[in-house]
Amino acid sequence: MNQPKHIARKRFGQNFLVDGAIIDNIVRAIAPQAGQPMVEIGPGLMALTKPLLERLGQLTVIELDRDLATRLRGRQGLNVVESDVLKVDFTALAHALGAPKLRVVGNLPYNISSPILFHLLDHVDAVQDQHFMLQKEVIDRMVAAPATSDYGRLSVMLQWRYAMENVLFVPPESFNPPPKVNSAVVRMLPRSAPAVLNRAVLEELVQVAFSQRRKILRNTLGRWLDEKSFSGAFDLQRRAEEVSGAEYQALAAALS
């Protein structure tokens, strides 16, 4: 019996990928191999799920929409986790699947893409790699170099733990309904030897630094460093976007 057509739900940020050529290119970029432990966030109508499952043999999917989760449960080889992705403990999930590390993929809902990326940062040690489709503007910020307008908090925080690259451009007409923005696919590889620091310190430091991008750091970060009784050397005669990620990490390490 044919199941009723699923209508995209705005509150879940649903835009379903329908372009076969783009789907093939994404699967090629992910390069799934039989037996690899992979988790897909937001499988939706299975545009990516089907080709991934064919190559892997089994796949874990995380789906919040109850109707979609019910449809997915009937598919052989799929392990369905019906949950808000922000509540999923990926480290525990890796243990449950008997895998040292997970490969994580997905077409992330654009309205909560940053919270998902920061949630996964908590579980980076349980991840082998990540491939996500996101708003192109967000990926531009993730991979941005210092001294560019896209460089900011997201760039510094994520580049601390991941090497990242924009691997594919995806136009709006590849989706139904088409979003009002361009999309892209990012590859995120956890760094084997990241700087050792207190993440909360780096987060606060970067937030303060970029709170007023146009101002010289002496007026923002300088005051914050005074409050922390920091006595080391740091050039505050620059704007936040002129400081490299490595310098922010070194400062956070000194404060940690």
Alpha carbon 50 to its chain centroid, in Å, reads 22
Residue 236 counted as an annotated binding residue: no
pLDDT at 198 over 60: yes
CA distance 99 to 153: 32
Q: What share of the chain is helix, strand, coil (3-state, %, to 5)?
A: 45, 20, 35
Residue 203 counted as an annotated binding residue: no
Coil vs helix vs strand at 241:
helix
- Contact in structure between 84 and 63 (CB atoms under 8 Å): no
Domains of the chain in start order, with CATH, are 10-190 (3.40.50.150), 199-255 (1.10.8.100)
For the segment 76-85, the average pLDDT, to the nearest whole number, is 97
- Contact in structure between 172 and 123 (CB atoms under 8 Å): no
Residue 84 counted as an annotated binding residue: yes
User: Phi/psi of residue 81, each to 5°?
Assistant: -105, 105
pTM (2 decimals)?
0.92
Q: Which own/partner contact pairs does 68-71 have at CB distance under 8 Å and 24+ positions apart?
A: 68/6, 68/43, 68/44, 71/3, 71/6
pLDDT at 82 over 70: yes
**What Å distances lie between residue 67 and 44, 86, 108, 113, 224, CA to CA?**
10, 19, 18, 22, 49
Residue 63 counted as an annotated binding residue: yes
pLDDT level of residue 16 (50, 70, 90 thresholds): confident
pLDDT at 4 over 50: no
- Tell me: cis bond preceding 177? Omega within 30 of 0 counts: yes
- Contact in structure between 21 and 171 (CB atoms under 8 Å): no
Let me know if 241 is exposed, middle or buried by CB neighbors in 10 A (0-12, 13-18, 19+): buried
CA distance 62 to 6: 17
CA distance 250 to 230: 13
User: Sheet harboring 127-135: ordered strands across?
Assistant: 78-82, 59-63, 38-41, 102-107, 127-135, 183-190, 162-170
pLDDT digits (tens, 9 = 90+) for 129-146: 999 999 999 999 999 999
pLDDT at 8 over 50: no
- Contact in structure between 27 and 48 (CB atoms under 8 Å): yes
Q: What percent of the chain is modeled with pLDDT above 90?
A: 89
State residue 110's pLDDT score: 84
State residue 111's pLDDT score: 86
User: Phi/psi of residue 37, each to 5°?
Assistant: -75, 105
Give the position of tokens 């910020």: 141
CA distance 149 to 147: 7
